[in-house]
Structure 1
């Protein structure tokens, strides 16, 4: 996506000056008076406040590793790290990079409390984002604005910026509580600075806080921008989308289901003017941030640009790592980028089970499938089985769902441009209407009102070119979410909600370390708090099953 990202990119460079310290030290003034901090950057004009807000969005795509102990900056990007935790740990994806211990652990569900680059990045990036947001809210409080002589017109506009910041903080908190359970909890009103250690809050308490914040932001009198008015930044559609997702998983997070609330949030979204993109594939093409039909479906997205957001995370990872270098030549660039890393691919068993593929010819690269969503695989030169070949990239099916070629071009017409594309232009859809339709279906099913959701299910089926079900069951939802939301960062959370993630009765390729699959311990539904964080903050406890310590979570 180009048009809006260029505006964001130039202010991101300035925003990087705002927050350069470790978490907990954000309000410390520099020894060098020429260094910029939040105390000196903000003034009476709009630019500093936009730059500060942009820094919060930029935390999703940042490769900056000053405060991270990771071996690969690209792998530390938040979208990529969270995606790895959600997809590589499940039936949907396996990674061929055997030399990385954390990859082996994710592939085979054998992680422990040992250092893990993916989970460590999720932990630190989300807490950084929360700390940055808290500081932004402190710096944009009414008394601070008044002291700086900010005009009433700009002060009113900044209220909208603050609402966006609060949404982003809720999103960071959702990611953290989903992956780690109990997490350190702070707001703009918490003590901060050197020597202050954030206290750990229960998963339920953090969930309740997020629900309270999001409910306030969704209110009619909220300064949050109106739905479909603020892309690629957040608006009320994004707020309600995250609310619906959190309600969907409320029983996992708190022990109490909230199906009616999930249904109500979805119905509010249905009044906001969103619509399904007519072509499923267009949602994931290189111009999805500029294509009006794709944008009509996206409630919240992370914007990427090959010239401005040069990150090896996000959709660059999902395009480059999904193909081999041998798939790319001067006459062939199958997904619109000029290289291939040979990293992530899909087990054949997943494709067969959920898409019912048939008649695969690995020499010709052809196969038969009825579901249009199943046409995104590339199999030429591949081998079907990963048995004994987990770390051989060409064993398995390559997925070209994220394709940098614009929706109105083909490989040949885009070839000359693709030759210069070392990164992706594809925006990553964090929340979209297809997901909301499936949340609605699940909520209605659990309320005994499944027929109410059938029209939404029929719309998804019509787009996919398949026959819609006549009833909604959990089994169908497990399968349909595997198809509709494949590789969008949902799978682990879905399988946990359905009681399948650790179960020995629901197996997949290399689950638990065995090719045929085996169950693993329930404590692994959440991950270990990084050891470095436990060592630096005595207020933290380790999650059950990982090393020493106790937890308040059951």
Structure 2
């Protein structure tokens, strides 16, 4: 861990115009063979842990509470809180503005996500700089390290591509740097969404062996160690990129969505979890449905984000029943509650009285966003820190529930959407959706004629509730902004949102530090 911490110091500066300060040099750190795998672990850890010690006290990024700063907590907040699926009671500076579409370029949660993305990119670039064959041979690293490095580098490229996808999805035109960028030189220039889209596409095609011009490839689909990326994860990221291509570059890529989701579905590497809720419990590791997941451990990966946040923030005084402490924050809206058939078992969570969501003593309608107890909205105990056998996790604050980034049910629905949009086989799409219906306790009698875009959007909300997809889905279906949003916030009658809200602003602090950047339309420092 000391080696890892030293290595991180070498790359931990996110201001590319300033040389990092450290008494250690790369030549000293990287002569140790174990340092490379430790550094790769840090890249994966960047999606999970928040700093060097845990749960807080030595954070990776500054300017924000370390607990807020966890990567997937930031991403989830920007993907869910501005939508019809989630409301949060807290009044921390700027978080309520996500619920009401009134954020600006100084919002700390927008800035925190931006910083997390580019911290990951910076770390990945440094790993790629330090792991060329020439450097490895020059340092006298072992032949074993030299032979395993192409896969390590492919994994780093995947993680960088994942963050760059998040970057163009959330922010549009963003600064763009690779390992070729000269540190300490001029600030990076802004690339267009299309340029970064093309880079991410090329990277993913390369590391899956599609391009045929690199030895740096991920393990075959289904062959990676749990929590690490293989070609299945890369195929899923490609499909996500293509699914939203019309938003990003004005071009439909539904045929590619059908192609890459079919590879995942047909691989035989994954299968639907028999019990839906087992995917969100403390022993969900190795779920046959997970394509890529972020492991959480209540003892060894302590922080206040991820499923620790999602589990605790959704609970109040009843938290002990779910192996958690309860933070009195999140609940859902009547739009979500009304979306489920009365026989649908997905919102009937374990360790509850059997109602869809927790309803006792609560109104379905939100009457006061800031009042968790009396302001309405059903409770969603989806991420429970108890096992499928009812045993609590080892820590009642820090969750053992792994976070599913990509899972098979999503691939099913992505294929179905592509088919409705004119790619793929509609009959096969109906069969896949029927598998999800059957697991949900519903009749599995859908036909191709029953599949419409509106049904797919609603089914994505039902199946993938609170999994970090909703904002992107609504934008793709052109239902995130406008004057007729039917989102049930009683204190915001005739709710509407301007089209520029489809992108978040670049942080004001970033604009001041890098004068080459241009703010997204609709935002200015005067807001």
TM over 0.5: yes
Find the counterpart in structure 2 of residue 360 from structure 1: none
Match of 1:400 among 361, 372, 381: 381
1:48 aligns with 2:35: yes
Q: 1:136 aligns with which of 127, 135, 157?
A: 127
Tell me, yes or no, if structure 1 residue 500 matches structure 2 residue 460: no
- Distance in 1 between residues matched to 2:204 and 2:22, nearest whole Å: 38
Name the structure 2 match of 1:483: 462
CA distance in 2, matches of 1:544, 1:236: 37
Name 1:242's counterpart in structure 2: 237
Corresponding residue for residue 60 of structure 1: 47
State the secondary structure of the residue aligned to 1:430: strand
Counterpart in the other structure of 2:294: 302
Q: Tell me by how many angstroms 1:270 deviates.
A: 2.0
Aligned partner (choices 331, 343, 347) of residue 333 of structure 2: 347
Deviation at 1:60, TM superposition (A): 1.1
Q: Is the 8 A contact 1:63 1:74 kept in 2?
A: yes
Report the Cα distance in structure 2 between the residues aligned to 1:428 and 1:155, rounded to whole angstroms: 32
What CA distance in whole angstroms lies between the structure 2 residues aligned with 1:264 and 1:282? 29
Distance of 1:247 and 1:177 partners within structure 2: 13
1:425 aligns with 2:400: yes
SS of the residue 1:301 aligns to: strand
Query: Which of 150, 156, 159 is equivalent to 1:168?
Result: 159
1:452 equivalent in structure 2: 428
TM-score for the superposition, normalised by structure 2: 0.90
User: 2:86, 2:332 within 8 Å by CA — same for their partners in 1?
Assistant: yes
Supply the RMSD in Å over aligned alpha carbons.
2.0
Shift of 1:122: 1.1
2:191 corresponds in structure 1 to 201
Show CA shifts across 1:304-336 (max 9, x none): 100011110000001111101x224xxxx2222
Shift of 1:514: 4.5
Residue 390 in structure 1 maps to residue 369 in structure 2 = yes
State the match for 1:361 in structure 2: none
Change (3 A) 1:26 1:485: farther
Counterpart in the other structure of 1:120:
111
SS at match of 1:74: coil
In structure 2, the residue matched to 1:473 is 452
CA distance in 1, matches of 2:16, 2:38: 20
CA distance in 2, matches of 1:91, 1:76: 23
8 Å Cα contact 2:307/2:402 also seen in 1: yes
Q: Secondary structure at the match of 1:76?
A: coil
**For residues 135 and 95 of structure 1, do their structure 2 counterparts lie closer, same or farther at Cα, with a shift above 3 Å needed?**
same
Equivalent-residue separation in structure 2 for 1:350 and 1:342 (angstroms): 19
1:63, distance to aligned residue in structure 2 (A): 2.2
Deviations 1:283-318 (A, max 9, x none): 1110111xx4x2x11111111100011110000001
When residues 31 and 226 of structure 1 are mapped into structure 2, their CA distance, relative to the original with a 3 A threshold, is closer
**CA shift in 2, pair 1:420/1:111, >3 Å:** closer
Matched with 1:19 is: 8
Instruction: Show the 5 A alignment for 1:356-375.
Output: 356=341, 369-375=342-348
Match for residue 247 of structure 2 among 247, 252, 256: 252
CA 1:447 to 1:196, structure 2 compared with 1: closer, same or farther past 3 Å? same
Q: Report if the CA contact (8 A) 2:50-2:59 is conserved.
A: no
Count of residue pairs brought into register by the alignment: 499
> Hey, what's the Cα distance between the residues in 2 that align with 1:26 and 1:74?
28
Q: Give the match for residue 143 of structure 2.
A: 152
Deviation at 1:66, TM superposition (A): 5.1
Q: Which residue of 2 aligns with 1:227?
A: 221
Distance 1:37 1:300, change over 3 A: farther
Q: 2:354 matched to which residue of 1?
A: none
The answer (yes or no) to whether the contact 1:184–1:200 under 8 Å persists in 2 is yes
* CA deviations over 1:230-283 (Å, ceiling 9, x no partner): 211111110001011111001001100101111100111123221111111011
Counterpart of 1:440 in structure 2 is 415
Listed as ranges, the gaps of 5+ residues in structure 1 are 1-10, 357-368, 550-554
Q: CA deviation at 1:452?
A: 3.1
Is the 1:508–1:517 Cα contact (8 Å) retained in structure 2? no
Question: Using the alignment, how far apart are the partners of 1:372 and 1:400 within structure 2?
Answer: 14
CA deviations over 1:345-380 (Å, ceiling 9, x no partner): 10133212x114xxxxxxxxxxxx311112132223
What displacement does 1:155 show?
0.9
Question: How far off is 1:547 after superposition?
Answer: 1.0
Q: Residues 32-47 of structure 1 correspond to what in structure 2 (within 5 A)?
A: 32=23, 36-43=24-31, 45=33, 47=34
Given the alignment of the two structures, is residue 544 of structure 1 paired with residue 524 of structure 2, yes or no?
A: no
Distance apart, 1:24 and its partner CA: 4.1
CA distance in 1, matches of 2:282, 2:17: 36
Please list every run of 5 or more consecutive structure 2 residues that lacks an aligned counterpart in the other structure: 52-57, 350-356
Structure 1 residues 101-110 or 488-497, which shifts more? 101-110
